[in-house]
Amino acid sequence: MRVKERAQKLAAGVVGPERREEIERVALRFAVALTDEMAALIDPSDPADPIAAQFLPSAREFDLAPEERQDPLGEERFSPCPGLVHRHRDRVLLKPILLCPVYCRFCFRREVVGKKGAMLSAGDLERAFAYIRDHREIWEVIVTGGDPFLLSPRRIGQIVETLDGLAHLEVIRFHTRVPVADPARVDARLLRALRAQKALFVVIHVNHPRELTEGANEAAKRFLRAGIPLLSQSVLLRGVNDDPVVLEALLRRLVAMRIKPYYLHHADLAPGTAHFRTGIEKGRRLVRALRGDLSGLCQPTYVLDIPGGYGKVPIGPCAIEREGKDWVVEDACGERHPYPADRGGDEE
């Protein structure tokens, strides 16, 4: 489908004609896509709809901030061969496909997804497997994209089977938006493709409680019945989920669906995404507010990916600091309490 047709299809029924031209213009610069499942969630009468904000292009994407980067996480620098990123000793990212069912407008890989050459060639996939085979320190392979669940079950099955056969590897992890964006893809064939001897985890990207539809719930149940544990990751986004009520609803619903919240990401410095970033101060305030009121099961780790490829670091509010020889700890209400230094270990 040509870009213009794709943009028109995307806009049909979810925005008025006055925004069509804007959407077409952005679609020429960045990939766009929307599934029926997500389109159905959009309230066309709400200009601030949190689902529309995530998937419908906006002219604000042309506003580039000086701190933004083509490759915010510096993945290129740590790529030993196409489709592979080896930043941390014990784990690699494998990106077999750079297509997605819904191109989030804040995607940190927006400069590389949805373009020509989005499928890793058979030769490059072989080279990636050879690299993993040769590096016995690799304990875990994180299959991501794009969205790896856009591959056919046959190809997913080949990847899982190959990885499952590598003796030094212990964990296979998939990162995906499919269970939310297109839950019907989570069918018996996909589940069969994911059968492995090794531990296999699925991490679902979801940002707003409304994305957790009955369809997503059914998809989650199918993974769980197949013995696949589920985790979630969310991006903190201005106007979407930078609100304690929305975050609480999202995190509680996830746990009720037996999905353990894993990461809350601070939005990355991807081109044209400044309107999504909340500021770290606000992020920490939100995380602190959640700490006191929500079960520990609902608490994700708030992380920032340091630009340039220096990895993820937790940036949640720091509850403890040194005061003289001893410590002071702050509780969830902001009240401070003394904690004694350990005579054996704390003194330098």
Ligand X SMILES: *Cc1c(COP(=O)(O)O)cnc(C)c1O
Contacting residues toward ligand X, per CB under 6 A: 73, 85, 87-88, 91, 93, 142, 312
Least distance between ligand X and beta carbon 92 (Å): 7
Least distance in angstroms from the C-beta of 301 to ligand X: 9
In terms of CB distance, is 142 or 186 closer to ligand X? 142
Instruction: Please say which residue, 71 or 242, places its beta carbon nearer to ligand X.
Output: 71
Q: How far is CA 41 from CA 37, 53, 68, 176, 179, in A?
A: 7, 12, 30, 19, 15
Cβ distance to ligand X smaller for residue 32 or 172: 172
Q: Which one, 88 or 275, has the nearer CB to ligand X?
A: 88
CB of 142 to ligand X, least distance (A): 6
> Strands 140-143 and 171-176: what pairing?
parallel
Nearer to ligand X, 25 or 260 (CB): 260
Q: Residues 194, 196, 199, 205: what is their CA dihedral angle, to the nearest 10 degrees?
A: -10
Shortest spacing between CB 206 and ligand X, in angstroms = 16
CB of 73 to ligand X, least distance (A): 5
CB 332 within 8 A of CB 109: no
Distances (CA, A) of 108 to 3, 118, 146, 184, 303: 21, 16, 11, 26, 14
Nearer to ligand X, 144 or 273 (CB): 144
Q: Name which of 10 and 132 has its Cβ closer to ligand X.
A: 132
Least Å from the CB of residue 51 to ligand X: 25
With respect to ligand X, which residue has the nearer C-beta, 194 or 203? 203
Q: Which residue is nearest to ligand X (CB)?
A: 87
Residue number with CB closer to ligand X (111 or 330)? 111
CB of 265 to ligand X, least distance (A): 9
From the CB of 141, what's the least distance to ligand X, in Å?
Answer: 10
Shortest distance (Å) from residue 167 CB to ligand X:
21
Residue 22 CB coordination number (10 Å): 19
